[in-house]
Amino acid sequence: MHPLLETRQLKAFYGDFQALFGIDMTLDAGETVAIIGANGAGKSTFLKAIAGLIHGEADNVLLDGTPIGARSASDIVRLGVALVPEGRRLFPSLTVEENLLIGDYGCKVPGPWTLDRVYALFPVLRERRHSATPALSGGQQQMVAIGRALMSNPRVLLCDEISLGLAPIIIAGIYAGLPQIKAEGTSVVLVEQDIVQAMKVADRVYCFQEGRLSLTGRPRDLTREQIHRAYFGA
């Protein structure tokens, strides 16, 4: 029995610069995994490598045991892995609704997530459906970005820093949607700088330090000291 998503000795390079030095991670169906670590630890790079924006060896990334590490980003979405990119990156010349609709452009997979379900999850978006996205608040933009990724009915949702730059009350609103997403059977990989938030929702935690795995475990098994050391180094 394979895990749903697995990385084996995943490495990533930006030109000559090596950002990841062989990361092993598994994600089972229905699980939520959080990846924490300081700035520049390679967390975003890790998600980009899974999503196909950075190319690597085919068998570094496996989905249901099938190597997908060398597939293009547009292929990987079709296979059921969707990324909510860092900084939201909505399409500015598309309205809110168009941003959501474009989410299933490449893959009309039947599943729980439709436009109506996304509006039910984030009701404010329905009110602003015809607005241009640059006119939205940061929190609303983040909701669109998550909704846009959900529209492809992914089996794995990769979320990159969805709380970045938002006020705590807004963050709470966005995280309130997470149980519903999990309830539909979607597995989640969460990159998060906010450790407390990450510990609350994750089944397991991976900590990165300078492109290497420094700690992994269940949140309740880890002590503050362990995390502190894994986060900042000895």
Partner 1 sequence: MTSWLDALIQGVLLGGLYALFAAGLSLMFGVMRLVNLAHGDLIVLAAFVILFLAAKLGLDPFVAVLVALPIVFVAGFALQYVLLNRTLGRDLLPPLLVTFGLSIIIENGLLQLFSADSQRLRSGAIETASIPLGGGIAIGVVPLLTLLSAIAVIVLLNLIFYRTPIGRAFRATSDDLEVAQLMGIDHKRIFAIAMGLGFVVTTIAALYLGLRANFDPTIGPARLLYAFEAVIIGGLGSFWGTLAGGIVLGLAQTIGARIDPEWQILAGHLAFLVVLVIKPRGLFPRAQD
Residue whose CB is less far from partner 1, 104 or 194? 104
As measured in angstroms, the least distance from the Cβ of 141 to partner 1 is 13
- Structural contact between residues 49 and 20, judged by C-beta atoms closer than 8 angstroms: yes
Interface ranges with partner 1 (CB under 8 A): 51-53, 72-74, 77-78, 82-83, 85, 89, 91-94, 98, 101-107, 134, 148-149, 152
Residue whose CB is less far from partner 1, 50 or 227? 50
As measured in angstroms, the least distance from the Cβ of 1 to partner 1 is 28
Q: What is the DSSP letter of 233?
A: -
As measured in angstroms, the least distance from the Cβ of 37 to partner 1 is 22
Phi and psi angles of residue 103, each rounded to the nearest 5 degrees, phi first: -60, -30
Residue whose CB is less far from partner 1, 37 or 52? 52
Single-letter code of the amino acid located at 214: S
- Structural contact between residues 101 and 108, judged by C-beta atoms closer than 8 angstroms: no
Beta strands 204-209 and 32-37: pairing type?
parallel
As measured in angstroms, the least distance from the Cβ of 111 to partner 1 is 14
Single-letter code of the amino acid located at 204: R
Residue whose CB is less far from partner 1, 18 or 72? 72
Reference 113, options 147, 79, 72; nearest CA is 147
